[in-house]
Each structure stands twice: as structure tokens, then as C-alpha cells.
Amino acid sequence: MQDLNDLALYAAVVRHKGFTAAANALSVPKSKISKRVAALEEQLGVRLIERSTRKLAITDIGQSFYERCEAVLSGVEAAEAVVAVAKAEPAGTVRLSMPPGFAPMMADVLPGFLKRYPLVRLSILTTGRPVDLIEERIDVALRVRDSYDTDQSLIVRRFGATRRYLAASPRFLKRYGPVDLHTIGRIPTLSMQENNPRAIWTLLHSSGEIHDVSHSPVLTCSDFSVLERATIEGIGLGLLPDIIVERGFRNGLLTPVLPDWSSTEATVHAVFTSRHGMLPAVRALIEHLAENLPRSMHRCQEIVPKPADDSNWSI
């Protein structure tokens, strides 16, 4: 295998049209360049440069070899650039999108990221709609889906799984209970399906049976924190993520409704366009989320929301 340094010296001689000019450009002694090029010719067994006391001419094989050398050296530079970028300190702006329900968890996770990488700037888009990463110039999108995105150009990093369970406040059940699959459509409900007067919950029984429940929500919102508060305050029956309802069940603010039924399992994951050429700041954010988001999801189960003053509440 040829010494890349010899290829670089030879390419410099051709590029600068002479040994003296190449020596000045590289700050390398002319004698060293001449010696290394001669050794390269001897190793290859061909004449690359025709020399005389007055002129220098590149042979045909020398010109073809030079072109290949430039291609090889360009590839080496590109490879070194990739490593340099990977080793660089994360900096610049990262655009992140997330569903509204992620706000409490991200509020727990992101300050630590920004303290760790002070040169990074985060721009967060909070939306319940699917975003187009390329069109909207989003670097990382957090999603909760029953299945992964089918777009083959997107890379998926899984962080965990979640299910939603039916829950209501004790005061709500005192007024509207008992609740079964057939009465849900006749009582106040809460839904994350926005701008839809008629919503459908697809429920899965522990035995594997699936049942669609149609209902007319009195409140629709894509932010689970709003739905959680409304459920605790007795506004309606909610279908809430396990990380929310478990803390409510444990502390008596919420009561399980039809506990054998739940939504299908959804994955909590991030999607991004490619690992190749990824900016250090983007890579650092993804790794930070992978390390901290699952723990934050668990901590959310421990945070107990306080109910509002219900002194004026009547049933």
C-alpha cells in the first residue's frame, strides 16, 4: 500500500507545477519532496515526471495517477472531517418537536442538557399534529405512536412504552357510576382528539378482545396535563397515560374504571433523518434523551397534583 504522505507530496508537485513551488506551499524542503517522489516512481516502476534542468513535464501515466491521488486525498480529508465534527463540542441550534403531553417530562430533562452543553440552543415546537422533519427543518421529533413511522428515510430511537387507562374522580363516579362500555357514550368524557365532536376510544381487554367506544367529549385537548386536571376535578371520564393515572390511583385522586381495559400499547420514541453527518449537538440531545427521558417518565408517576379547592363543588 502506498504511503499517503508520498501521494500528497506528488500531488502537490503537479498541482503547483514544480518542486520549488510545492516546497514553498508545503513548507517542506525541496530535496525531501524530490527524494520521496523518486522513491514513489521506483516503487511503482513507472516514470511520473520527466525532469530536465529547465523544465518539468508530467507523463500521461503521471497525469492519470495524479487524478487518482487527488480523489484519494479528498476522501481522506472527508473522513477526517467526519471525525472532527464528531469530536467537536456540541454547539448551535437544535430544533425539537414534541406532543403537548411531553411538557412536564421535558421540563425535567432539558435544563440538565442545556447546563451540560452551554453552546447549544434549543428551539421547541409543541404540537399534537405530525410534523414533516424535512419541510419544517426539525432535527428531532418526539412521538408516541401505536406503530413506528413507515418512512424508510427516518431513523427511530425507542425510549419506552405506554398505555392509557380509563380513570375518573371519586366524585364523578358518585354522580355517574357505575360505568360500563355501553354507558360511556352517555356520560361526560374527555378526549385528546381535538376538533372532533364525536370521538372513538379503541380499547383492548386483557383477554385480547378489542372494542371501539364512541363518545361525545365535553373537553378535547391534546395536552394530557389539561385532561388530567379536568379528570381529577370531576369534569369527565378520561383515558389517560399510565404515567399519569398510576399516581392518581395510588393517592386516591383518581379511581380506575374498567381496569381490565386499556388502549393498545404505544411506543415513546424519537425520529430523525439520518445518523450520517449528524451535528454533534443533535447527537448529544438524542443521547441525553435516551439516558434521561425514561427516568423522567418514572418520576412523573411520583408527582402528585393537588386538587383545586372544592368547597363550592356540589353534586
Instruction: Give per-residue pLDDT as tens, 88-125.
Output: 788 899 999 998 778 778 888 999 999 999 999 999 99
180/221 same-domain check: yes
Other beta carbons within 10 angstroms of residue 83's beta carbon come to 9
185/103 same-domain check: no
Residue numbers of the domain that contains 35:
4-87
Please check the confidence at residue 229 and state whether its pLDDT lies above 70: yes
Is pLDDT larger for residue 160 or for residue 274?
160
Please check the confidence at residue 83 and state whether its pLDDT lies above 80: no
- End-of-domain residue from the set 262, 280, 310: 262
* SS3 (DSSP) at 95: strand
As for how many domains the chain has, the answer is 3
- End-of-domain residue from the set 262, 283, 306: 262
pLDDT for the residue 313: 36
Let me know: does 124 contact 98? Beta carbons within 8 Å: yes
70/28 same-domain check: yes
List all residues 6 or more positions away from 40 whose beta carbon is below 8 Å from its beta carbon: 2, 6, 7, 10, 48
238/108 same-domain check: no
Cell of 199: 370521538
Cell of 298: 418514572
147/280 same-domain check: yes
pLDDT for the residue 183: 93
The H-assigned helical ranges of the chain are 4-16, 19-26, 30-44, 60-87, 103-116, 170-176, 224-232, 242-250, 280-300
Mean predicted lDDT score pLDDT of the chain:
85
Please check the confidence at residue 257 and state whether its pLDDT lies above 90: yes
171/194 same-domain check: yes
Let me know: does 33 contact 23? Beta carbons within 8 Å: yes
Cis peptide before 29 (omega within 30 of 0): no
pLDDT-based confidence at 171, cuts 50/70/90?
very high
Q: Compute the distance between CA of residue 84 and CA of residue 277 in angstroms, rounded to an integer.
A: 11
Domain CATH code at residue 148: 3.40.190.10
Q: Is residue 53 part of a domain?
A: yes
45/115 same-domain check: no
pLDDT for the residue 124: 93
Phi, psi (degrees; rounded to nearest 5) at 35: -65, -45
List all residues 6 or more positions away from 243 whose beta carbon is below 8 Å from its beta carbon: 162, 297, 298, 300, 301
96/128 same-domain check: yes
Q: Is residue 54 part of a domain?
A: yes
Is pLDDT larger for residue 277 or for residue 175?
175
pLDDT for the residue 89: 82
- End-of-domain residue from the set 50, 66, 87: 87
292/149 same-domain check: yes
Q: Is residue 277 part of a domain?
A: yes
Domain CATH code at residue 75: 1.10.10.10
